[in-house]
Structure 1
Amino acid sequence: MYRLGLLGKHIDYSFSKHYFKSKFETEQLPFTYENFDLDNISLFPKLLNDNPDIFGLNVTIPYKEEIIPYLDKLDKKAKKIGAVNTITISSKGQLKGYNTDCYGFKKSIKPLLKKHHKKALILGTGGASKAIAYTLKKLNIKFDYVSRTSKPGVKFTYEDLTIEDIESYKIIINCSPVGTYPKVNSCPNIPYDGVTNKHILYDLIYNPEQTKFLKLGELQGADTINGLKMLEFQAEKAWRIWNSIK
């Protein structure tokens, strides 16, 4: 059996484990997939020492950036993005990082894009937002960040945002964890009255299926999409990467 898994913190809810376990059973493939829940990224070397037969990993919150110093190589996209969500481990123990989030996001949002979708707001500045920013650049969509606090590279804090700001950014992407199960009554604090039927509201969260952020966007007539398709696309891309070195 070939061992794969997900590296993260508090990941009992994991999409990846269910997705790959179901895939391997359906296609009768000789692979296992398990969660590796670490309280601190410093425990990563011990994880590898204790499990020398792992040959691939996914990486999720909060380690997409913190994992990089532990890797031997990064592919070009991961290096430009500055975040990793997929790792291969060669027979010689060399670790290489990739980012398939950018692929998943692009594949999932492209069918919704229209000519007026020229500017985007990215809510949050963590590791997930980096792949989104990279992809928006590739799609020639201008973007700005929104964060709780003022910092270099961030145009807006949530307190700064006006209805007019929201009206002028026709794509709004939630890259923060706000609204994730079980805190389903929470949502990013933006002026939803500025959302129109020309907007796309995209939430990287997939549990719950429809977050409060998406519900409020839908009430304003916006197109809405959660992170499930992105996850499926990025998972299949990771699968192809692992099989290329197996």
Structure 2
Amino acid sequence: MNIYGLLGRDIGYSFSRNYFSDKFRKENLDCQYQNFDLQKIDALKTIIQNTNIKGMNVTIPYKEEVIPYLDTLDAVAQEIGAVNVIKFENNGTLTGYNSDYYGFTESLKPLLNDAIKKALILGTGGASKAIAFALTKLKIKYTFVSRNPDFEELSYNNLDEDIINDFKLIINCTPLGTHPNVENHPDIPYEYLGEHHVLYDLIYNPEETTFMKKGKEKGATIANGLKMLVLQAEKSWEIWNQ
């Protein structure tokens, strides 16, 4: 039996395990998908010795930390600097890919309007790197917002009416608002949002986060990360079987 799985920490919720388990059952595939829930990335050394494993997805907090354990990166993952798909090659080597950018791009396209020229990316973790790459390909300028900004980033305290008016696309790449802490949300001035704004939350549980609700109240278009997850999962399957 071929084994696939999700590498991460504290991942009992796991969209991927449910999605692929359903897929394998519906398509009558002799495959199994399991969580590799590691408190430290070092434990991966033992797991990858299992020759039945054919592929892994990677989630928080290991999208960057996993790179030293891989033999090669494809060109996109190399440029992004983060990996969310690992292919276990027939020769025993491990190749890293990134399908997050694909899932985000294809799920975002239907939401775009002519007013969107600039985006704020909330958070600076591994997921945000794929988002930045996707926005560059879409020719949308972006700025990161961080609790601990460097000289090219904005602080949440910097966000004012002018900035919110200028940046019509706002993407939450932080875990704020994830179940069960559903009342949490990024600290942005929601009062300046309007109907030309798009708020995109990478979180999918709950279906509508507080970040999204506050945007909807101001007439903004909102979306969660579920469509992105489905698209990146199918791209993962394609990568593992190519």
TM-score, normalised on structure 1?
0.97
Q: Secondary structure at the match of 1:77?
A: helix
- Partner residue, 2:174: 176
- Partner residue, 1:25: 25
Show the 5 A alignment for 1:85-234.
85-154=84-153, 156-234=154-232
Which AA in structure 2 matches 1:100? S
- Identity rate, percent: 55
Moved over 4 A (4+): none
Distance in 2, Cα, partners of 1:238 & 1:55: 11
Which AA in structure 1 matches 2:35? N
Query: Unaligned regions of 5+ residues in structure 2, if any?
Result: none
- Partner residue, 2:10: 10
Q: Secondary structure at the match of 1:78?
A: helix
Given that 2:113 and 2:196 are in contact with CA atoms closer than 8 Å, whether structure 1 keeps it comes out as: no
Given that 1:123 and 1:173 are in contact with CA atoms closer than 8 Å, whether structure 2 keeps it comes out as: yes
Given that 1:122 and 1:174 are in contact with CA atoms closer than 8 Å, whether structure 2 keeps it comes out as: yes
Q: CA deviation at 1:81?
A: 0.2
CA distances 1:150-176 after superposition (whole Å, capped 9, x unpaired): 21431x111121122111100000001
230, 233, 236: which is aligned to 1:235? 233
Q: CA deviation at 1:125?
A: 0.3
CA distances 1:103-162 after superposition (whole Å, capped 9, x unpaired): 0000000011111111000000000000000000000000101000121431x1111211
Given that 2:87 and 2:96 are in contact with CA atoms closer than 8 Å, whether structure 1 keeps it comes out as: yes
Which AA in structure 2 matches 1:116? A
Given that 2:63 and 2:82 are in contact with CA atoms closer than 8 Å, whether structure 1 keeps it comes out as: yes
Aligned residues: 242
Which AA in structure 2 matches 1:9? R
Provide closer, same or farther for how the CA distance between residues 178 and 67 of structure 1 changes in structure 2, counting only shifts above 3 A.
same
Q: CA deviation at 1:27?
A: 1.0
Larger displacement relative to structure 2 (217-226 or 144-153) = 144-153
Q: Secondary structure at the match of 1:45?
A: helix
CA distances 1:204-239 after superposition (whole Å, capped 9, x unpaired): 000110000000000000000000000000000000
Q: Secondary structure at the match of 2:106?
A: helix
Given that 1:163 and 1:192 are in contact with CA atoms closer than 8 Å, whether structure 2 keeps it comes out as: no
- Partner residue, 1:66: 65
- Partner residue, 2:79: 80
Distance in 1, Cα, partners of 2:228 & 2:107: 6
Distance in 1, Cα, partners of 2:54 & 2:159: 45
Given that 2:204 and 2:224 are in contact with CA atoms closer than 8 Å, whether structure 1 keeps it comes out as: yes
Q: CA deviation at 1:92?
A: 2.1
TM-score, normalised on structure 2?
0.98
CA distances 1:80-105 after superposition (whole Å, capped 9, x unpaired): 00000000011221000000000000
Distance in 1, Cα, partners of 2:152 & 2:137: 19
Distance in 2, Cα, partners of 1:18 & 1:82: 27
Q: Secondary structure at the match of 1:159?
A: helix
Q: Secondary structure at the match of 1:57?
A: strand
CA distances 1:32-58 after superposition (whole Å, capped 9, x unpaired): 100000001111111112x23101000
Distance in 2, Cα, partners of 1:93 & 1:205: 34
